[in-house]
Structure 1
Amino acid sequence: MKIVGLKIEKGMVAASVVLKTFRQMELKDSFRLSFTTDAELVELLKERSKDWDGARIVSSVPGHYFSQRTIHFPFADHNRVEKALPFEIEDSVPFPLDDVILDHVILDGAAGGKGPGGQRETPVLGLMLPKTILRRHLELLASAGLDPQVIAPSYVGLYSVSKMMKTEGCALFVCDRDVCMKSGDTVKGLRSFSGLQATGGLRHTLQALETEHKERVEKALLLCPDSGVEAELSGLGIVVEQVAPEFSGNKAADPVSLGLALSERLNFRKGEFMYRAADEGMRRKKRTLIIAGAVVLALAAVNVGVKFYVVESGYGKLDREMKQIYHRTFPDAKAAKDPLKQMRDKVEEAKKKFGMLGSGSSALDVMAAVTDGVPKEVRVSFQEFNLEGDRLKLQAEAGSFEAVDKIKAELQKAPLFKEVIVQDTRMGVENKVRFRMEIKLKQGI
């Protein structure tokens, strides 16, 4: 399995490619390049990602875009933490949790302190990323033809690297604008500093970490060369050491991108941003009544136009085309003398087998309701119509996220539909928005 750790900061892109087998993991490629514009970044990614087909891509968003809160729980189970975290955080942040994606890092629970009742507590770092930032990041990568399976903060890569390296006392790992505070074998905190200059917020970030954890940093390990950061730390009386961690005998051009490739579990692709693998060659499956009805409508339209077509080309040519459509729809059926009549017969058989929608509404009515519900000004291409019981599942492409919202709003007004849910939206190829939608009917089959 090939894993790509992709790190994008202002003016810099880095990646590490790790090959994972049953026995070992090996660093196969690594680079760190600069760029000046988004267009230049897109071209760099297109060129460098040619060998990433089938790879698991872990892409980072700069850490300073994330808000964080440290919470202590009397348990360390990830699932329990995930359920409890929103309730612990919502009253301590100045924005609605609906506007962000929430995930967490358990900071070495074995080293946690004890609560008022004497039970051991686990420190958990709750992380929040605005949906607008995540959407913009995914759109940028989509323009380069990339759709990462995982999105994480950049300092999570530094966290993974710090776990690979032994330290004595309290040390600060630094790479670009990310820092990781580690005491012995225990990671204490993760932060990013920002400012007009690289060192603008480093002093404040360091003081905040030392105050929160009541420990003084004795040594700084600089993983990415930066004379400004080195001078700032030296001025604070901290010993600075340049380090270049090795992995499988090789050194990565950017250690944080390597750490991203090695990171596990944390992922901000959730909810509406959840990663869904593109369907590689649509699987053949039974078509429901709605698909058969669509074909009947197409044949009926052809039949209505016979009078006009006879004048132009003759009935014989049209009849052959209708038979070809029938054969493609029912490849196992015998040759049709009257394809339109036989198609109608098969639809009637399907109705008897699958039944009709309540109140006399047929599956064709459902299809018509979907078609009528799409606003005229919106261009949409449907790839999947799947009717199962009282639920209709759709997969389609639209021109923008706004168009998806308009489609949902109009379909919600249809008399046949009880509830319309957009399950997933993401950027596809050619800057089109792919989405999945589930519609609950008021009465099912």
Structure 2
Amino acid sequence: GEIKKTVQFFENETKDKVKTILVSGSMSRIQGLTELLKKEIGRDVKKLFIPDLGVDNSPLYAKAYALALYGSSYKGGYLNFRKDQFKYQGADRELRKVFMVPAVLFVVLVALLLYNMTSRYFDLKDQVSVLEAQVAREVKETFPDVQTIPRPAEYMQSEVSKVRERLSMIEGVEGASTPLEILRNLSDSLPNGMSLRVNDIKIEGNNGVKVQGICDSYQEVAEIEEALSKSGKFESVIRNQTGNAVDGKTKFEISLVLKRET
């Protein structure tokens, strides 16, 4: 992003379009870097490496090459490094200020950005390798019976998810009530001596339960609802439905939410 902004700034200042970006130095030897820059910046990116100069001295040629080829709209002229009768006769000092400063600055900025990107890449790569080795070691210590684990991190996540699912069936998560606790509060809140048959109990969420059962009459359903409401153990008691069952009995469904402990 910073390289692209630099190119745009350079084009706005000079009123000219940058068509090709040359990458030199040790950073240019990173595999895939030119393709990445070409995709991100939207310009043609080429490597500049001169075998006779070597990796470290090739950037010196790049700077001179940039100055030699750099065109300008300043009074319709161009930099001219030729000698003798072809030597440029204009305001040489002012032109150098206009052309050299942005050109050198651009090369320096590109070099710094490439250095930062490369350093960051290798730092993260080293960190990932260390973390992967640590995870693999922890997985082997935790699951010694497993001989081969191609993806240790994914295997660990899968096993942890299985354990959490099993725990959620026995005890609540993050302070929620257990299914046994909900059933115990339900049993303690029902009126003594009442003839009641529970057909189905569904645990809903962390503190909810839905009870379906059969009792003798509509009056007993109302008594059950009232007893549960007055027990002080539930945040809400809602009778979802009531209807006739076989043998003159009454079927019902009640939803309950257990109070959280404070």
TM-score by length of 2: 0.33
TM-score, normalised relative to structure 1: 0.20
Question: Which structure has the higher relative contact order (CA within 8 Å, separation 6+)?
Answer: 1
**More helix, by proportion:** 2
Greater Cα radius of gyration, structure 1 or 2: 2
